[in-house]
């Protein structure tokens, strides 16, 4: 019993130390500096992950065509995929958002008929102005999204040189075991991502077919299916 209490006090003390450190860092503005630094580094990190995912495909393409042409084809394919997604999904999303706002405002008006919920009538109505207020955050997201792909294709083009430089940063004493561990981790992660994508595709196709059969709106895009 005393041993368990001692362990609990030990973990609690470390939690309190961590909370105190976060508060201290926030008070002396180091926390904000770290958040800003992470915000700058994240597009580069996700760009590297993007390049890591597409590098096996690039290797296969390089066996048949030139490296620059392979990168160009990947960029064109990526742009076409995103264009198709925007062309098909954005109208559906906007239509559903409009329906959601209409339902929300309708329910707010119906609440007026309930005596003990009369205070809800003063709630602000959701309209297009709400979306306009969020435009800055949307533009920020699109900027980061674009930077991820910009860094991603740059890293993909120089993948071998960048990896060689990163390998040299590992101390020589631990380089062999670290690279072996990273190689196994890379193989397992790629297998996991491949399996997840296949599962997602199967679920997407199955749910779209079932939604279309039962007549649900926008199973994929009713206009394109009919």
Question: pLDDT tens across 72-90, in order?
Answer: 888 899 899 888 888 877 7
What mean pLDDT comes out for the span 37-54? 85
Residue 171 has pLDDT above 70, yes or no: yes
N-to-C CA span, the chain: 69
Q: Which helix (H) or strand (E) holds 120?
A: none
Q: Residues 65, 98: one domain?
A: yes
Q: Residues 197, 119: one domain?
A: no
Q: Residues 104, 160: one domain?
A: yes
Listed residues 152, 169, 186: the one ending a domain: 169
- Between CA 70 and CA 62 the distance in angstroms is 6
| C-alpha of 159 from chain center | 22
Neighbours of 98 (CB within 10 A): 11
Q: Residues 87, 189: one domain?
A: no
Q: How confident is the model at residue 99 (pLDDT cuts 50, 70, 90)?
A: confident
Residue 92 has pLDDT above 80, yes or no: no
Residue 225 has pLDDT above 50, yes or no: no
Place of tokens 């559906």: 92
The answer to which of 59-63, 100-104, 123-127, 203-207 has the lowest mean pLDDT is 123-127
Containing domain of residue 89, as a range?
2-169
Q: Residues 162, 192: one domain?
A: no
User: Higher-confidence residue: 31 or 226?
Assistant: 31
Q: How many domains does the chain have?
A: 2
Q: Residues 83, 133: one domain?
A: yes
Q: Residues 77, 184: one domain?
A: no
Residue 54 has pLDDT above 60, yes or no: yes
């Amino acid at each position: 019993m005393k041993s368990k209490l001692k362990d609990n006090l030990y973990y609690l003390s470390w939690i309190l130390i961590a909370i105190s450190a976060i508060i201290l860092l926030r008070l002396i503005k180091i926390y904000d500096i770290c958040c800003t630094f992470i915000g700058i580094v994240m597009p580069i990190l996700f760009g590297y992950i993007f390049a890591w995912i597409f590098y096996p495909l690039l290797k296969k393409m390089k066996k048949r065509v030139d490296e620059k042409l392979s990168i160009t084809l990947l960029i064109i394919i990526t742009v076409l995929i995103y264009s198709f997604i925007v062309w098909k999904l954005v109208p559906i999303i906007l239509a559903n958002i409009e329906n959601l706002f209409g339902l929300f405002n309708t329910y707010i008006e119906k609440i007026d008929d309930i005596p003990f919920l009369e205070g809800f009538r003063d709630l602000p109505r959701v309209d297009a102005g709400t979306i306009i207020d969020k435009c800055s955050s949307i533009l920020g997201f699109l900027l980061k999204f674009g930077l991820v792909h910009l860094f991603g294709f740059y890293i993909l083009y120089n993948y071998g040189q960048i990896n060689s430089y990163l390998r040299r940063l590992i101390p020589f004493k631990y380089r062999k075991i670290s690279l072996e561990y990273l190689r196994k981790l890379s193989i397992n992660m790629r297998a996991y991502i491949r399996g997840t994508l296949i599962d997602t595709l199967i679920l997407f196709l199955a749910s779209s077919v079932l939604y279309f059969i039962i007549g649900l709106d926008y199973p994929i895009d009713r206009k394109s299916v009919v």
